[in-house]
Structure 1
């Protein structure tokens, strides 16, 4: 009786691709987070500036 292997280990090529994908995803997530933080900071500054312009009127 032969036991078939149902779960194959990933090949070396797949492992490298997975690491590359994980690194790329991490970089993209960091860039997205930084962009969202910058957008929030700029929005807050813009709203503060608009409020300052409206008060004297």
Structure 2
């Protein structure tokens, strides 16, 4: 473990650790976030007019 902490880090190592941390945060955020009324993508602000001809 001590050898791991004392080694030199390359720029690629920093980028990989950053990407892994970011993507892990997204996955953990989706797992722990509450889903209310299902998942709905879009805007339902009531700005639509549906007439009887459309039905």
Normalised to the residue count of structure 2, the TM-score between the two structures is: 0.44
Report which of the two structures shows the higher radius of gyration computed on alpha carbons.
Answer: 1
Normalised to the residue count of structure 1, the TM-score between the two structures is: 0.43
Name whichever structure is richer in helix by fraction: 1
